[in-house]
Chain A
Amino acid sequence: MNSDFLKSLDALDNATTSRRDALRKAGRLGGAAALAVTPLYAMARETMNSKRSLSAAYGPQAHDVLNFALTLEYLEYYFYVQGAAHPDIGDDAAVFAGIRDNELAHVRALTAVINDLDGPPDAVIYQQEDFTFDVDGADPFEAGNYELFLTLAQGFEDTGVRAYKGQAVALQPTPYLTVALQIHSVEARHAAAVRRIRGKQGWIPGDQDDAEDAIAAVYAAGDDFPSEANTTQGGVELVDALGGAYTMEEITEAFDEPLEMNPVLAIAGPFITGTEGDGETP
């Protein structure tokens, strides 16, 4: 972990320390205690989605949002630890080794950031065995199931992009917005690479109604956020507003859509079969 990185965050952090101290009294301890013992869904219910009122609860918000992100990074990392060793991987070995290494770096970076926040270090810790990636009894890492592995890889990466994007507003008043953006765009690079390996475009046209069942929810609407087929941005329907110069497909590709924490957890939750706890971080 690059220590300069933490120092630069500290500098941003100090600027908001007094505000956070004031907010800490407003109930973060209760939230933290709840995090330690409740499963993932309870954490999700406690945590806010992207609404402006979040700035009033800055303290718990940073811990919860970043731990949510860290959980997804653990899921991806352990997925790729096995995937990068897939017997059918062939020429894709270098790409997936690189992606795996990025996810490990993300796990370590987020762990350091969260443990450096005010209060006791409470970055979630997961082990390999806390995740199970079988789909309908099929093991994606088994010889012959490479396509299932690629399907899940696409789903996880495109979910990660939507998940980070869905938390941007929650992180807006904090110094952690920028680091989240810096991880978010790397996940998008991953997503494009996996999609291209699968013979698809790197970007997302329409709502992907041809996506496999296992990952269909990745492209669907969230609680309030629309599906990836959305063509209305900033309240303006763009197919007409841009003078018909672009196709609907191009307009849906030009914007990726955010997804709230609850729908993301509905997608990722089934793969998280263990609970976070003590142990070594990777």
Chain B
Amino acid sequence: MSEPTFPHDELRSDRRSFLKIAGIGGAVLVAAGCDSADTPDPIDPGDFNGLMGTVLNEEDGSPLSDVTITVEGTSRMAVTDANGVYAIENLPTGTYTVMATTANFVEGEQENVEITAGSGATANFSLTPGGNIVLDFSDDFGPLNYAYALEQLEAAFYAAVVASPYAGITPDEMSIMMDLAAHEGIHRDFFAAAIAGAGGTFTNRDLIPGLTPDFSAVDFTDRASVLATALTFEDLGVGAYNGAGQFFSDSEAGALYLVLAGKIVSVEARHASVVADLITPDAIAGAGVIDADGLDQALAPADVLTAAAPFLENGISVINA
């Protein structure tokens, strides 16, 4: 991978002349509109008391654009370009903590970054997928990753149930739990493959990373706790899919995704019905889930994520929905 280059290379020679003449360490933040230039020289941090660096995706080394760089204790900030490069100029001398923040990646932090008179500094970051997730519903990747997130949660839950079945579980119930674990695992793995197959990547924030569940509120030894959680997840999943259908694009691809989501939601509803009956014989849903018109819920994505939040360490939010 090539050496990172400063975003405004074309103006470099002019700026260096300016600095020498002015005799000051700082450089004016250049505006857009560059002169034509010769091949730019590689950046030399010693030329200015600024801060620069590159942000990469730790998983595959690819550059991360649109990462917000902030300098603690100051109002200075920058955003990485398509090459993952940023620059913040004219920082007062001192020692700083620099943060790199972006959706779907764990925040990066560098302490003891020292700016001295006439000498800039470099702070590079290698961010790991995770952290706070943002689902953007302005294209099909939004609802697809939304489904992927919920299936990750359910798959993790049932894997935990199967690994540590509750006291008194019957053979029929164990068979059910194993089927639920298999189905949700299939759904999860299917969405991961489908999203990647559609060109979704971590770097573009079109593919969310593996999420970290939080099942601390569940007593896996207790049938009532496990089944109540299972029903919560299944009813929530049904409501989530029903409320997400309208967001798939009115296109060939969007129609395909709608059908795929449709194939899955009815299976989640079957799950919900079976679990409801295990809790309360003859029930087919949680209390109040089916309304007076005989309709299942169609939940807003934001409401689903709020309900799921206690079970996830990652923060997840939705935009454009």
Contacts and interface: CB of A to CB of B under 8 A. Distances in A.
Interface of A: 1-2, 5, 50, 52, 55, 94-95, 98, 101-106, 108-109, 161, 165, 168-169, 172-173, 177-179, 181-193, 196, 201-203, 233-234, 236, 238, 241-243, 245-247, 250-251, 253-258
- 5 tightest Cβ-Cβ pairs between the two chains A and B: A105-B294, A188-B269, A188-B266, A189-B273, A192-B270
Interface residues of B, number: 53
Given A101-B294, A253-B183, A254-B186, A172 B254 contact: yes
B291 A2 contact: yes
Given A178-B246, A242-B190, A258 B273 contact: no
B242 A185 contact: yes
Given A184-B266, A186-B295, A168 B259 contact: yes
A234 to B, nearest CB: 5
A102 B290 contact: yes
A95 B274 CA distance: 13
Contacts of A2: 291-293
Q: Is the interface of A mostly helix, strand, loop or mixed?
A: helix
A245 B185 contact: yes
Contacts of A173: 250
Contacts of A236: 193-194, 197
Contacts of B277: 193, 196
Contacts of B290: 102, 186, 189
Given A168-B259, A254-B187, A185 B282 contact: no
A200 to B, nearest CB: 11
Contacts of B264: 254-255
24 contacts: A1-B293, A50-B259, A101-B294, A106-B293, A165-B263, A177-B246, A178-B298, A181-B262, A183-B295, A184-B262, A185-B268, A185-B269, A189-B273, A189-B296, A190-B284, A193-B282, A202-B274, A234-B197, A236-B197, A242-B190, A242-B193, A243-B189, A246-B185, A253-B179
Given A169-B255, A251-B186, 15 more contacts: A50-B255, A102-B294, A103-B294, A105-B292, A105-B294, A168-B262, A172-B254, A172-B258, A185-B241, A189-B296, A203-B267, A241-B193, A253-B179, A253-B182, A253-B183
